[in-house]
């Protein structure tokens, strides 16, 4: 069973499960069942379920044995949503919950709720009485495309990351790790850091963008306050500008500098590098300007 199955990650996990299981063994729970018509046509069972509507979860989770709980995108409300999902899973008789977390999910992380809520959810799972597995993902490589395209267009990478490093991982690799932990034994009580093989500095990123675009990209380091002002100055709403600056602060302080071999141990192959994710999107990377 996969919650949030119509999201980017959820669909990739669903595809992976359909490669590993008979379709009737796969239950996809989503707020948007109509978005999963194609997967239903391939034999998966698609059910309506919304963590904000706990009553919907009774039917949605009925009969499920192993469940991937995909963290929602409702920043600031996720602890309550995830609690509703874990409680409903326990009531429905689900035996094992795999949860999608983030590297270093601690309250001291400057990104605030982004990291704190997954940490709180991990603690809930530990106390739930259910078997659990936690997958702590690095930063999704696919999300680099918009800032990378902007840097290529401006030939300048504006940042407050300082000397910090970020570890990336593709959603596809995250989905494969999730499908493996759902469909094979031996993962109960384990926390896996699902990351790429290296954490990249902002200088590494600028060199990568320059290499892929054929134009040099320079790094411009700003303070948190300056970056926030620049972002607001170009029309970014204040809360978003503040979140972007907080992310950079977290990078600077080492909260995304985690490299772990768990992915290769689980899958038997190395994770896809950020370079390859961007090469696959090269047309979009170079389309702006």
Q: Which residues bind ligand NAP (CB under 6 A)?
A: 3-10, 30-32, 50-52, 70-74, 81, 100, 102, 137, 139-140, 143
Q: How far is the CB of 261 from ligand NAP (least distance, A)?
A: 18
CB of residue 57 vs ligand NAP: minimum separation in angstroms? Answer: 9
How far apart are CB 116 and ligand NAP at their closest, in Å?
Answer: 13
Between 73 and 185, name the residue whose CB sits nearer to ligand NAP.
73
CB of 289 to ligand NAP, least distance (A): 26
DSSP for the chain? -BSSTTSHHHHHHHHHHHHHS-GGG-EEEES-GGGGHHHHHTT-EEEE--TTSHHHHHHHHTT-SEEEE---S-TTSHHHHHHHHHHHHHHHT--EEEEEEESS--TTSTTTHHHHHHHHHHHHHHHSSSEEEEEEE-EEGGGGHHHHHHHHHHTEEEE--TT-EEEEE-HHHHHHHHHHHHHSSS-TTEEEEE--S-EEEHHHHHHHHHHHHTS--EEEE--HHHHHHHHHHTT--HHHHHHHHHHHHHHHTTTT----THHHHHHSSPPPPHHHHHHHTHHHHHH--
Residue 74 vs 188, nearer CB to ligand NAP: 74
Task: Tell me how far, at minimum, the Cβ of 100 lies from ligand NAP, in Å.
Answer: 6
User: Shortest distance, CB of residue 210 to ligand NAP, whole angstroms?
Assistant: 24
Looking at the Cβ atoms of 8 and 253, the one nearer to ligand NAP is 8
State the minimum distance, in angstroms, from the CB of residue 187 to ligand NAP.
19
Of 70 and 200, nearer to ligand NAP (C-beta) is 70
Phi, psi of 158 (to 5 degrees): -90, 125
The residue among 6 and 213 lying less far from ligand NAP, judged by its C-beta, is: 6
- CB of 128 closer than 8 Å to CB of 92: no
Residue 64 or 213 having the CB closest to ligand NAP: 64
Q: Which residue, 136 or 252, has its beta carbon nearer to ligand NAP?
A: 136
């Amino acid at each position: 069973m996969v919650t949030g199955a119509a999201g980017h990650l959820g669909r990739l996990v669903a595809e992976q499960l359909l490669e590993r299981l008979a379709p009737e063994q796969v239950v996809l729970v989503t707020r948007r069942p109509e978005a999963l018509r194609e997967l239903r046509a391939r034999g998966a069972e698609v059910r309506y379920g919304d963590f904000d509507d706990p009553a919907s979860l009774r039917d949605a989770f009925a009969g499920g044995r192993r469940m991937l709980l995909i963290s929602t995108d409702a920043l600031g409300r996720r602890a309550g949503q995830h609690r509703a999902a874990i409680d409903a899973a326990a009531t429905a008789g689900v035996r094992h919950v795999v949860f999608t977390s983030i590297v270093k999910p601690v309250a001291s992380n400057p990104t605030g709720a982004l990291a704190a809520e997954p940490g709180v959810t991990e603690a809930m799972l530990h106390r739930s009485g259910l078997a659990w597995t936690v997958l702590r993902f690095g930063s999704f490589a696919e999300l680099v495309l918009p800032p990378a395209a902007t840097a290529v267009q401006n030939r300048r990478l504006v940042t407050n990351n300082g000397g910090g490093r970020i570890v990336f991982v593709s959603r596809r690799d995250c989905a494969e790790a999730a499908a493996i932990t759902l469909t094979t034994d031996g993962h109960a009580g384990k926390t896996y850091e699902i990351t790429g093989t290296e954490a990249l500095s902002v200088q590494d990123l600028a060199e990568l963008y320059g290499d892929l675009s054929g134009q040099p990209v320079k790094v411009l380091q700003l303070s948190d306050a300056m970056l926030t002002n620049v972002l607001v100055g170009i029309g970014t709403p204040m809360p978003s500008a503040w979140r972007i600056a907080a992310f950079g602060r977290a990078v600077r302080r080492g909260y995304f500098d985690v490299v772990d071999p768990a992915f290769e141990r689980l899958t038997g192959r190395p994770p896809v590098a950020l370079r390859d994710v961007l090469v696959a999107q090269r047309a979009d990377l170079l389309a702006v300007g």
